[in-house]
Structure 1
Amino acid sequence: MALTGVLRPGHVVLRVMDLDKAVAHYTDALGLIEVARDDKGRVFFKAWDEADHHSVVLRQADEAGMDYMGWKVDSAATLERLAGDVKNSGLVTDTSWIAAGEHPHTGKRFRFTIPTGHVMELYAQKDATGCSTGYLNPEPWPDGLKGMAPSRFDHCLLYGDDLDGTVKLFTEVLGFGLAEEVVAGPEKFRIAAFLSCSNKVHDVAFIRQPMKNKFHHASFLLDNWYEVLKAADIISKRKISIDLGPTRHGITRGETIYFFDPSGNRNEVFAGGYIYYPDKPTVTWTDDQLGPAIFYHDRKLNEAFLSVVT
């Protein structure tokens, strides 16, 4: 298999201010599947087509936002190698090892803080409890799905100050490719980066902002544009706080709608995008074209979308 090193986003841990309301939102409206609760009060979820035990974790807190994002790597040997490389890069702080079992069904994790202030972790092992269709003569989708029913947790968009250091870490140390970027002015100052460790158009994206460690959204994959439109109906039917869409991005070519969980964490459901290969030239957008880059149909910016973060 050619895909090695960091394989994919493995989990995101979100803070919510009312756990019961959040659980109802993520199961009944978004359509994730609850798989476990632990003695710390955390609730663990997965999407229907994910093999590993969990991909989304919620915990009760006094403010909303993201605690950390986890990345699955291809082997225990790769975990040890990348942990050493990250530690020796001079680009991270607060490195530590988290013992196996701290997340259920999950091996040890290497945790670190990146230049934008976000906490990331790498791990090699999480029990494959299986997807909802199984792996022997499966149907294309399972019965009994709820809500929008995404097939997987797809990516996060994060805000922070040291974009240059974070891009350097992800590209030069962790092996990601820079699929797309946004640059400003004649000096082409980079203000956004869309990074991929796979064939997806992005697995994580960062926007340069003066604050550290801010969370813009977690995104979940749908199959097609029709499912995005159906998600819009569900959002309206359930009177969920909508942000923007349904629309298309110029960046990534993805079809999208944004909305908020009960604590104010932004969610996205997303379809489309193109296949990314490491030898594909980086797509560059200039700041004078930010309108169609972000909202291809309206071709203009929305200040609330750009400024509301947790």
Structure 2
Amino acid sequence: MAVMRLGYVHARVTDLSDARSHYVDTLGLYPVQEEPGRLLLKGWDEWDHHSVVLDEGGVGLGRLGYKVEDPSDLDGFEKRAQQFGCRVERMSKGENPEVSDGIRIFTPSEHVLELYHDMTLVGTEVGTVNPEVFPRHLVGVGVPNIDHALITAEDVNLMDRFFAEVLDFYTTERVATSLDDDAEYIGTWMSAGQKVHDIAVIKGPQGKLHHFAFELGDWADVLHAGDLFAMDDVSVDVGPTHHGITRGKTIYFFDPSGNRNEVFAGGYRSYPDRPCVTWTPDQLAKGIFYVGRELNERFTSVLT
């Protein structure tokens, strides 16, 4: 029984036309389906139908979708979530476009997670037979795929337990008030496989989104993205810079509705038997922004 990866993010935007310009023209996602008030997108190296769904009306996170390895996994995860005290609903095939049946979990942090086992296969832009290393005519940043999300919760310890006990994630790094076993967590970074993190949770209001991120290849790609953000007048929050936590290279920026995005490159490969890295609150600024070692007020207070 296994969660494989983050499959999709549903985000709310105030103006779909402005959002389309940002996600398609600047970030380079491919539109795959458009309906009144809704746009579905994918990266060039994603084989499933979509990874980002933009819904017009408001701001913030609608839900996160995680793909599981086998249809039979859903029953086990449903039982675990219920035993943990979460409300769970069954999700019918087609309820989300091109997505299989699944379950919908209402987490202790008041976020909505959907687990599903299949999505319509459309293929990558370079194919799977003798492929080129990237498409010749990338647009804008040309992000290849979605990578992770960071959400907020009043009780980070509880969410750490939820992802570990219900979904078999493991903690790669955390910020804790002490090194004691009963320490309060300020933030937790958790992986479902070998990535440094598939989800992160930091202390904050229930049900809020801090950011969702797209993977890039290396530091040069991050710098190139920064140049394009300047050309397109994208509102940049922080970066380009380097994380201490995860060791990733990063730029944080905002879509036209105010949802924070990230382009993320690097980070180390992790394994379940790798000891968890702990950061203390006095070193939090260094952990988040290793070079500048300073947190701006916007980074910790602007949520959607």
Fold shared by both chains (TM-score > 0.5): yes
Q: How does 1:133-212 map to 2 (within 5 A)?
A: 133-185=126-178, 188-209=183-204, 211-212=205-206
TM-score (norm 2): 0.97
What residue in structure 1 maps to residue 210 of structure 2? 216
User: Cα distance, 1:162 vs. partner?
Assistant: 2.3
Q: After the TM superposition, which of the residue ranges 7-16 and 74-83 deviates more from structure 2?
A: 74-83
The 2-side partners of 1:13 and 1:109 are apart by 16
Q: Which runs of 5+ in 2 are unaligned?
A: none
Q: How does 1:210-249 map to 2 (within 5 A)?
A: 211-249=205-243
Q: How many aligned positions are there?
A: 302
TM-score (norm 1): 0.95
What residue in structure 1 maps to residue 113 of structure 2? 120
Which residue identity lines up with residue 139 of structure 2 in the other structure?
K
3-state SS of 2:246 partner: helix
Please say if residues 153 and 159 of structure 2, whose CA atoms lie closer than 8 Å, have aligned partners that are also in contact: no
State which of 19, 24, 31 in structure 2 corresponds to 1:22. Answer: 19
What do you get for the CA RMSD once the two structures are aligned?
A: 1.2
Please say if residues 35 and 44 of structure 1, whose CA atoms lie closer than 8 Å, have aligned partners that are also in contact: yes
The 1-side partners of 2:177 and 2:300 are apart by 16
Structure 1 residue runs of 4 or more that deviate by more than 4 Å after TM superposition = none
State which of 32, 35, 38 in structure 2 corresponds to 1:38. Answer: 35
What residue in structure 2 maps to residue 52 of structure 1? 48
What residue in structure 1 maps to residue 98 of structure 2? 105
The 1-side partners of 2:44 and 2:21 are apart by 17
3-state SS of 1:76 partner: coil
Task: Render the CA deviation track for 1:43-98: whole Å, top value 9, x for unaligned.
Answer: 1111110111110000011x2100100100001111222122212222x13x2122
User: Cα distance, 1:107 vs. partner?
Assistant: 0.5
3-state SS of 1:22 partner: helix
Q: Indicate how the Cα distance of structure 1 residues 273 and 261 shifts in structure 2: closer, same or farther if over 3 A, else same.
A: same
The 2-side partners of 1:198 and 1:37 are apart by 32
Which residue identity lines up with residue 18 of structure 1 in the other structure?
D
Which residue identity lines up with residue 261 of structure 2 in the other structure?
N
3-state SS of 1:179 partner: strand
Is it true that 1:276 corresponds to 2:275 in the alignment? no
What residue in structure 2 maps to residue 264 of structure 1? 258
The 1-side partners of 2:178 and 2:279 are apart by 11
The 2-side partners of 1:163 and 1:44 are apart by 31
Task: Render the CA deviation track for 1:145-189: whole Å, top value 9, x for unaligned.
Answer: 111111110000111112222111110121001000001257632
What residue in structure 1 maps to residue 301 of structure 2? 307
Is it true that 1:66 corresponds to 2:61 in the alignment? yes
The 2-side partners of 1:240 and 1:195 are apart by 29
Please say if residues 115 and 163 of structure 1, whose CA atoms lie closer than 8 Å, have aligned partners that are also in contact: no
User: Cα distance, 1:109 vs. partner?
Assistant: 2.4
Task: Render the CA deviation track for 1:213-233: whole Å, top value 9, x for unaligned.
Answer: 010001000000001000110
Task: Render the CA deviation track for 1:23-58: whole Å, top value 9, x for unaligned.
Answer: 11100001111101236x321111110111110000
Please say if residues 240 and 260 of structure 1, whose CA atoms lie closer than 8 Å, have aligned partners that are also in contact: yes
Q: After the TM superposition, which of the residue ranges 183-192 and 289-298 deviates more from structure 2?
A: 183-192
Which residue identity lines up with residue 306 of structure 1 in the other structure?
T
The 2-side partners of 1:238 and 1:190 are apart by 38
Q: How does 1:6-21 map to 2 (within 5 A)?
A: 6-21=3-18
Which residue identity lines up with residue 271 of structure 1 in the other structure?
A
3-state SS of 2:84 partner: coil
Please say if residues 102 and 116 of structure 2, whose CA atoms lie closer than 8 Å, have aligned partners that are also in contact: yes
Task: Render the CA deviation track for 1:239-273: whole Å, top value 9, x for unaligned.
Answer: 11111100000000000001100000001001000
